[in-house]
Chains A and B, each alone.
Chain A
Amino acid sequence: AQSVAQPEDQVNVAEGNPLTVKCTYSVSGNPYLFWYVQYPNRGLQFLLKYITGDNLVKGSYGFEAEFNKSQTSFHLKKPSALVSDSALYFCAVRDFFSGGYNKLIFGAGTRLAVHP
């Protein structure tokens, strides 16, 4: 079965420092991987995705993620964190199944706290 793990419930980082939010996955076949961000009482906003191609994916708001097939990881990174980056981050993998329907399988989420 497809699954996604986000091993850290919370990540704390000082403003201006680099940040990493970890994600590992388990899928059969080639993975379609996504990162979303959620601010309080809001829907999920798309940050970036990996479908194929370059292992380093650049996304919105200065975020990037590195796809590592051998380690089955898709960690989210940003070179210099901002206080406004504080939010809940979700990693997801697309689960393809019969009938043409497909859904996203989400990790439990990681809360990022950036301190001034």
Chain B
Amino acid sequence: DGGITQSPKYLFRKEGQNVTLSCEQNLNHDAMYWYRQDPGQGLRLIYYSQIVNDFQKGDIAEGYSVSREKKESFPLTVTSAQKNPTAFYLCATQADRNTFFGPGTRLTVL
């Protein structure tokens, strides 16, 4: 987990609210990713970014948004349009052929 921090560790949201998950890295890696983990489904890609001010949708981007204003930061916003947001969210960076994961944020919708 070292070098990538995600906050908060646990997050509770009421239906209809937007929430933002933080991801910060000090690895100086250009590429950053957001994955969603659900039981029995592995990890699925939400958004990715190769450079500052550029990002692309992954496989399940609907109901999510991101920004990449700084190399170190790649926050993910879970909007009210995401119908089933309860999941474990993992931020990752990539350099060369290796992917590094943060400790994750567990989001629960009440």
Question: Between A and B, how many residue pairs show CB distances below 8 Å?
Answer: 58
Segment touching A, from B14-22, B72-80, B93-101: B93-101
List, in ascending order, chain A residues with CB within 8 A of B88's CB: 41
Are the CB atoms of A46 and B98 closer together than 8 Å?
yes
Are the CB atoms of B50 and A99 closer together than 8 Å?
yes
Are the CB atoms of B103 and A42 closer together than 8 Å?
yes
Cβ of A106 under 8 Å from chain B: yes
Q: Map CB proximity to B onto A3-33 as digits: 1 under 8 Å, 0 otherwise.
A: 0100001000000000000000000000010
Other than the given A44-B101, A106-B42, 5 more pairs (CB < 8 A) read A4-B42, A46-B99, A90-B43, A94-B97, A101-B56
A106 to chain B, nearest CB (A): 4
Q: Which of B44-92 contact A (CB under 8 A)?
A: 44-45, 48, 50, 56, 58, 88, 90
Are the CB atoms of A41 and B42 closer together than 8 Å?
no
A108 and B42 CA atoms in complex are apart in Å by 4
Are the CB atoms of B43 and A104 closer together than 8 Å?
yes
With A42-B1, A49-B97 already in contact, the answer to whether A109 and B40 are too (CB < 8 A) is: yes
Closest 8 CB pairs of A and B: A106-B42, A43-B101, A44-B101, A106-B43, A43-B103, A108-B42, A43-B1, A103-B45
Chain A, residue nearest B49 (CB): A101
With A41-B106, A43-B104, A99-B50 already in contact, the answer to whether A104 and B99 are too (CB < 8 A) is: yes
Cβ of A53 under 8 Å from chain B: no
A99 and B50 CA atoms in complex are apart in Å by 9
A44 and B103 CA atoms in complex are apart in Å by 8
Are the CB atoms of B50 and A109 closer together than 8 Å?
no
With A41-B106, A100-B50 already in contact, the answer to whether A90 and B56 are too (CB < 8 A) is: no
List, in ascending order, chain A residues with CB within 8 A of B97's CB: 32, 49, 51, 94
